[in-house]
Amino acid sequence: MATEPPADAAGNSVPEPSEGATRPRLVVQRGLFFGPSALVPEDLYSIVEKGSASRERAQVALEPNTRVNTNTYFGRFHATYWQRWTDVGEIEVDAVVTGTGRVRLIASDTNKVWRIIEAQDVRDAEGSRIRLTGPVDRFVDGGGMWLELTTETGHLTVADVRWAVSDARPGPRTDVVICTYNRVDDCLNTLQAMVADPEALSCIGTVQVVDQGSDPLESRPRFAEVAAGLGERLRYVRQPNLGGAGGFTRGLFDATAGEPDDHADVLLMDDDVLLDPEILIRLTGFAASTRHPMIVGGQMLNLLHPAHLHISAEYADPELLQVGMPVPGALKEAYLIGLDERQLPINQERRVDTEYNGWWSCLIPAAIVRAIGYPLPLFFQWDDIEYGYRARAHGFPTVALPGAGVWHADFGWKDWDEWHRYFNMRNGLITAALHTGFSVRRIAGRLGQLLSQYLISMQYGLSATLLQAMEDFLEGPEILRDGSAGAAAEIRRIRARYAETAMHPVSDIVDDFRELQVVRAANPPGHERLTWLKRAAYLLTNRSVHRSGFVPAGDAHWWHVSTFEHAVVTDMSEQGIRVRTRDKAVALQLAKRAARTFRRFLAEGPTAARRYRNEMGHLTSRANWARLYGLDD
């Protein structure tokens, strides 16, 4: 947590308060005018609305007749979240100013109507420090604060902006944990970004890297540079691959060793993000200020489309295997530097409460770990979701804090037909067993719908993946005994039997180009069940609408691909293609297996669910994870 002594007042020389009157302050946000990389738009931080200004990371220089504001994703102070979850009564904004102009602290209400909170005129300043104060008192439903900087005839430079609150209580240290698997350059870039920002780095204790890959970080020359920059903060751990769940839990495990007074909060972070180190200040500052322990999540922006927010608050429906659904009122895939229908900036103005947060960046207090245990050994997929819902069940909320974000690979550019979908399905069933009434008919209905679509659209490997997930779930909690490492290897072997699961470069196409014309999808069917029955009749009678064709990724709906005998389908990453070929024998074989599996699920599903619930305490215990890590604890 970054702290600083009180600043001088604006414009005039004001003596420091007496020693007894000094209030320690906690910096919870810096005013940044430019991103950490040329790969991200600077308008996410500040906007030049009029005139000309030179923006740098920590300062902005305005020419005459210029207006700059920070009513942006990273520039706003999202006051509504602070009023809801903390007892902070006011925010103090300090800045160093040079020149002549005006600095205003602006606030918005729930409906984006702005008001001026405080303003200071600056005349011929020479590196003077000013302070503006805003009460955090009218933001329960929504709203935020930002700075507006203007000049008329003079020049004005504003630098070193700090948003601070009263630091009322000491908190535990926060350790960063990065789990990595053969993403050496990405991980080193993330670590280097921390090293390059000493102020942000000062907010945290240990930086623990859990390396589970076969291509270790320590084998690279750059690792020595990063290690030297982090110094004693770095803790580097090598261990066998236990997936994201095993890697992140190792950090939680180590941070909560020993006596409770020695425990640390933990900020989990993916290895392949584009990091703005500012998130270290914002997450730790917010977590230190909450009334009660809560999970404080950073949000995700899309790496390929860096001005787009993935989602601002989400929930899941485990029984339907659905995740990433926006809470009503939440932004989803929002273009953050665009304008709404009223020509106002797109921000999360109204407060929305999330039900969980992804572990691309997520701070988990040690107090919560002590209360609810460690994550499940799920390998990956749903581990973060299950933990968020478990915390909720124990009375610990989660906040997805706007303005605290990292850039992560776009989910929309990942193909669904991959080996890790096994974990999405199996672990979704486990989460449903633990956190829902586990309606076997509702769940079976959803699984049957998915399977029927996969079979009819020639996704035989994905069909086998779904059935394997169901069958392994029914085996009970014993499947988690090895941390699911065995399941990860086995599902790859299973899927390798099905040719359409492999992606190929487009240059591998050997078909006559005249037989592979692009065929776009028509409108969605008005009655899906009747359409599916028609497609099934085509399969059984060896008929088709199209003998062959090329299907773009965005058109690869089951009801369209199922009209082909042979379809070359673009992978969602658009880096290659998948070749799907109708095989009635394989489809019927999988359908017969499905009939057996679904009968088992209806009969044995409730018992399996009870077994997971009964074993929950053991699976999430420190002793179980110590066994998986091969440690004496």
**Secondary structure (3-state) at 258:** coil
Backbone region of residue 358 per phi and psi (left: phi > 0; alpha: psi in -120 to 50; beta: other values) = beta
Q: Distance (Å, rounded) from C-alpha 71 to C-alpha 337?
A: 10
N-to-C CA span, the chain: 30
Q: What is the pLDDT of residue 344?
A: 87
Please report, for residues 251, 464, 582, the alpha-carbon distance to residue 218 in angstroms, rounded to integers and kept in the order given: 18, 38, 47
pLDDT given for residue 9 in this prediction: 34
How far from chain centre, in Å, is Cα 558?
29
List strand residue ranges (DSSP E) for 279-389, in order. Answer: 295-302, 308-311, 314-317, 322-326, 332-335, 361-364
Spatial separation of the C-alpha atoms in residues 133 and 13, rounded to whole Å = 18
Return d(Cα 563, Cα 578) in angstroms, integer: 16
Place of tokens 């999808």: 521
The residues with which 238 forms a beta bridge, in sequence order, are: 211
Given a contact cutoff of 8 angstroms between Cβ atoms, the answer to whether 419 and 316 are in contact is: no
The per-residue pLDDT for 19 is 42
C-alpha to C-alpha distance for 336 and 347, rounded to whole angstroms: 7
Residue of 580, 552, 576, 555 whose CA lies nearest to 566: 580
Give the orientation angle of helix 221-230 with respect to helix 184-195, to 10 degrees: 30
CB 148 within 8 A of CB 121: no
Nearest by Cα to 620 from 462, 454, 386, 415: 386
Cβ-based burial of 544 (10 A; exposed 0-12, middle 13-18, buried ≥19):
middle
DSSP code of 545?
A: S
Q: Which helix (H) or strand (E) holds 445?
A: helix 440-456
- In angstroms, rounded to a whole number, what is the distance separating the alpha carbons of residues 123 and 548? 74
Which of 323, 299, 296 minimizes the C-alpha distance to 312?
299
**Angle at which helices 485-495 and 460-475 pack, to 10 degrees?**
150
Contact criterion met (CB below 8 Å) for 54 and 42: no
What is the Cα–Cα distance from 358 to 1, expressed in whole angstroms? 23
- What is the DSSP-derived secondary structure letter of residue 581? E
The first and second tokens of residue 60, run together, are 């902005």
Sign of CA dihedral 578, 583, 586, 591: positive
Beta strands in 2-113 (DSSP E): 2-4, 25-31, 47-50, 53-55, 59-62, 67-69, 90-108
Question: What is the pLDDT at residue 413?
Answer: 84
Instruction: Tell me what pLDDT residue 22 has.
Output: 54
- DSSP H/E element including 446: helix 440-456
- Contact 244/359 with Cβ under 8 angstroms? yes
Chain centre distance of CA 200? 20
The pLDDT assigned to 11 comes to 37
Cα separations in angstroms, 162 against 25, 97, 145, 557, 575: 11, 13, 13, 50, 43
**CA-atom Rg of the chain in angstroms:** 27
Residue among 275, 324, 281 at smallest CA distance from 303? 275
284: Cβ–Cβ under 8 A, 6 or more apart, which residues? 1, 174, 203, 204, 265, 267, 363
CB 584 within 8 A of CB 455: no
Question: Rounded to an integer, what distance in angstroms lies between the CA atom of residue 192 and that of residue 201?
Answer: 11
d(CA 105, CA 90) in angstroms, rounded, equals 13
- Please name every residue paired with 309 in a beta bridge, in sequence order, or none if there are none: 301, 334
Predicted local distance difference test score (pLDDT) of residue 60: 98
Q: Distances in Å between the alpha carbon of 468 and those of 131, 480, 597, 608?
A: 61, 15, 9, 15
Q: Which two tokens stand for residue 362?
A: 């997520």
Greatest alpha-carbon span in the chain:
90
Low-confidence ranges of the chain (pLDDT < 50): 3-21
**Can you tell me which residue has the tokens 């900087």?**
149
Burial of 261 (0-12, 13-18, 19+ CB in 10 A): exposed
Question: Coil, strand, or helix at residue 81?
Answer: helix
